[in-house]
Amino acid sequence: MKTVAIKTTIPEDHRLVIHVPPDMPPGPAEVVVTAMSSVEAERPWTLADLLVSGLVGMWKDRADITDSVEFARMLRKEAEGRRRAND
């Protein structure tokens, strides 16, 4: 499973077009929209924001991640490779 966070603005007509990165696999996906005030959108996240966001622990039930440190290392390596390919 790949995850991407996309920040956008909801237009007046409430129609949102989302362009995902080309490395996202086609198929089923879940889209969650969280509306924020303009003040919330401007300020950086705090630890408390992160803890209540649903991001912390969202992969806790994944059976394919046996070593979270190694998994994070692999994700960083993939991201670094994408950056070099886009340069």
Contacts of 50 (CB under 8 A, 6+ apart): 56
Alpha-carbon gap, residue 67 to 75, rounded angstroms:
12
Task: Look at residue 12 and tell me whether its pLDDT is greater than 70.
Answer: yes
In a domain, 25, yes or no: no
Amino acid in the structure at residue 29: A
Sign of CA dihedral 29, 50, 16, 3: negative
Among 37, 21, 38, residue whose Cα is nearest residue 29: 21
Task: Look at residue 79 and tell me whether its pLDDT is greater than 60.
Answer: yes
**22-65, pLDDT tens digit by residue?**
878 888 888 888 777 777 667 787 888 788 777 788 788 888 88
Model pTM? 0.37
pLDDT of residue 85: 58
In a domain, 49, yes or no: yes
Which residue range(s) make up the domain with 78? 44-86
In a domain, 9, yes or no: no
- Tally of domains in the chain: 1
